[in-house]
Amino acid sequence: MAEARKMVPLPEKGVQVYAKNGRRYAYKVTRTYRNAKGQPTCDRRSIGRVDDETGMLIPNLAYYEFYGEVAAPEAEEPQVGAVSEAGVTFAARAALSSCGAFPMLESALGEARASSLLTVAAYMLAEGNVMNYLDDFCERALVPANVDDRRASELFASIAPEDRAAFFASWASAQAGNGYVAYDATSFSSYSEGIADLEWGYNRDGEKLPQINLAMYVGVESLLPVFYRTYPGSIVDKKHLPSMMAGNAELGVGDVTFAMDCGFASTANLQYMHDEGFPYLIGLETFRKASRNAIDDLRGELSSARTWIGDAGCHGAAKKGMLYGVYSQINVFHDAERAARAEADMHRRLEADEERLSQMPEITRAEAKRYSKRGFAIERSDDGSFEFSRDWDAIDAMSENLGYFCVLTSEPGADPAEVLATYRRKDTVEKAFDEIKNHLDMHRLRTHTQETTDGKMFCAFVALIARMSIENALRGWMRENRMTMERVLRELAKIRCVQGAGGKRMLNPLTKKQREIVELMGFSEDDVKAFVESGGVNLYSSLPSGI
């Protein structure tokens, strides 16, 4: 639990106050100017939170930098009757302990840094990525270590590559096990100029900003993130695959099959995985020569009732042979409903293109070439004037393979139905990216050096483990009760404790819903009580499934 803070008068000039999540925060304006569009704007920095009752400022460290105080006020003992939120921190610690991650963090980082990291991870679960409000979170929540934005930056910078390697040496091998690992990559944008890996490349979010790339393994069975690696934003995903997989043996990621999307399919990658003995399931675009040939060879088979896959609602068949330089199996599937939707979309797009063409007085050579690939015959004159009509032969060719999709597997003889069932579960890694970018708010890095970026990404990865572990435990209950993870976290934030005489903390009784959440995670109300009484430091479980 954070210490009570002394309050200071809110500065009268050069300060702006904004509300966020029902609280008001004060910002010192450091520079005013006009942006590129000529609009007035400013740079500002958080200096603390405004107390609702008194209107006074609860300052953070930045306040003392701006207003010339020699030092921040000394910490005071929490007052009797002070109330703290305990649920989110408990859930983060419980989730990381249940899956075995927290003991590994303590071993890799030491107890002090592991406690600070737990505070940051709990904050990311509750609030997101902006560290300016971390001290406010520590003020109202029961945390194992008090951390503000400055100490968070110091923590990030202190997590060296060997620290991360020590954690992953234990974590990755424990999570991968036997089965399947989904592998994919994403990117994170930033305005910073001090991050070495920040480079221009294919931006998946469509932002005109440089980026760093992140590749990640997620267990298909465990539904937990296994390992990640960052790399410069200019490197394309398929080129990075050998670098990502080069450390598999060292990580203990063995005896698994890698499920990947079509972005990683290349002759070099497939031959690399074959030579290294890494089994795979990988999607193939239907315009690839290998896919087109397989579809043509299996088209008749895929119209037979014998190839129907009831659970998937589509037909599936397979063909073995030398594909991409290695002996493997291509699995071809046809989904009639998917084909109907794709055909309807194609005709809507043709109508929209036709409307645009009818309104264009002239067309460039590049535009003519582009529309000719979209199903139109274009006759262009030297002056740019043109006539057009639909190219029905090209349209028929475009629609011929609608509804077909292909998955290449390194295991000849694999059942297409099992291949499809496993391949469709690879979206667990896409869900992990959605969680870390949107729900943990990491779509912007908000760091300024490579060291703090690397450390912050590691903390976000740990927070992702906690979030996905909680969601795994509660998935069925959340569906039955129509609860999102955000509502679960808000419910956990209502678990509070009260500061008693002599420094003793007392847990408020849990509601029925809070008890259900805690018990589904493998713990009990007594465990929450013990966590509170220890000041958020220790976790003991009375239930066999807890750790």
Tens-place pLDDT, residues 354-372: 999 999 999 999 999 999 9
For the residues of 381-412, what is the DSSP string, one character each? -TTS-EEEEE-HHHHHHHHHTTTEEEEEESST
- Within 10 A of 52 (CB to CB), how many other CB atoms are there? 9
Asked if 505 contacts 498 with a C-beta cutoff of 8 angstroms, the reply is: yes
Supply the pLDDT for residue 545.
39
Structure tokens at 466: 């906690």
Structure tokens at 229: 């690696």
Determine the Cα–Cα distance for residues 108 and 161; give it in Å rounded to an integer: 11
326-334 and 404-409 beta bridge pairing: antiparallel
Does an H or E element contain 428, and which? helix 427-434
Structure tokens at 526: 């007594």
Supply the pLDDT for residue 73.
41
Does an H or E element contain 61, and which? helix 61-66
* Residue keyed to tokens 């847990």: 507
Structure tokens at 532: 């509170």
Supply the pLDDT for residue 361.
94
- The residue length of the chain stands at 547
- β partners of residue 50: 24, 57
Structure tokens at 178: 């036997």
For the residues of 341-375, what is the DSSP string, one character each? HHHHHHHHHHHHHHHHHHT-S---HHHHHHHHTTT
Closest CA to 49 of 113, 162, 136: 136
Supply the pLDDT for residue 208.
86
* pLDDT tens digits along 29-87: 877 766 666 667 777 888 888 887 778 888 876 777 777 653 434 444 556 678 899 99
Please list, in sequence order, all residues whose beta carbon lies within 8 angstroms of the beta carbon of residue 151, skipping any fewer than 6 positions away: 116
> Structural domain boundaries of the chain?
1-76, 337-400
Structure tokens at 435: 């969680």
Please list, in sequence order, all residues whose beta carbon lies within 8 angstroms of the beta carbon of residue 280, skipping any fewer than 6 positions away: 257, 258, 259, 260, 270, 273, 408, 409, 410
> What region does 325 belong to: left with phi over 0, alpha with psi -120 to 50, or beta?
left
Residue numbers in the chain where pLDDT is lower than 70: 1-6, 21, 33-39, 61, 68-80, 176-178, 539-547
In whole angstroms, how far apart are CA 489 and each of 149, 235, 296? 22, 37, 51
* pLDDT tens digits along 220-261: 988 999 999 999 999 999 999 999 999 898 888 888 899 999
Strands (E), 109-266: 179-189, 211-219, 225-232, 256-260
Three-state DSSP at 418 gives: helix
Determine the Cα–Cα distance for residues 534 and 273; give it in Å rounded to an integer: 49
| Residues 284-310 as b or e (16 or more Cβ within 10 Å = b) | bebebebbbebbeebeebbeeeebebe
Supply the pLDDT for residue 334.
97
Which amino acid, 420? L
DSSP 436: I
- Between CA 382 and CA 392, with CA 388 as vertex, the angle to 5 degrees is 135
Q: Phi first, then psi: what are they for 68, rounded to 5°? A: 70, 15
Determine the Cα–Cα distance for residues 330 and 286; give it in Å rounded to an integer: 12
Looking from the CA of 172 toward its CB, the CA atoms found within 13 Å total 24
- Between CA 391 and CA 398, with CA 394 as vertex, the angle to 5 degrees is 135
First to last CA, the chain: 23
Supply the pLDDT for residue 1.
42
Determine the Cα–Cα distance for residues 49 and 138; give it in Å rounded to an integer: 13
Closest CA to 47 of 13, 89, 84: 13
* Residue keyed to tokens 């409000």: 133
Determine the Cα–Cα distance for residues 449 and 158; give it in Å rounded to an integer: 12
In whole angstroms, how far apart are CA 271 and each of 242, 256, 321, 331, 444? 11, 17, 14, 18, 36
- β partners of residue 179: 256
Report the side by side order of strands in the sheet with 505-507.
83-85, 496-499, 505-507
In whole angstroms, how far apart are CA 460 and each of 440, 442, 545? 7, 8, 26
The CB-based long-range contact list for 99-102 (8 Å cut-off, 24+ gap) reads 99/224, 99/465, 99/469, 100/171, 100/174, 100/547, 101/171, 101/462, 101/465, 101/466
Supply the pLDDT for residue 2.
41
- Between CA 102 and CA 114, with CA 108 as vertex, the angle to 5 degrees is 50
Determine the Cα–Cα distance for residues 499 and 85; give it in Å rounded to an integer: 11
Asked if 249 contacts 168 with a C-beta cutoff of 8 angstroms, the reply is: no
Determine the Cα–Cα distance for residues 2 and 427; give it in Å rounded to an integer: 39
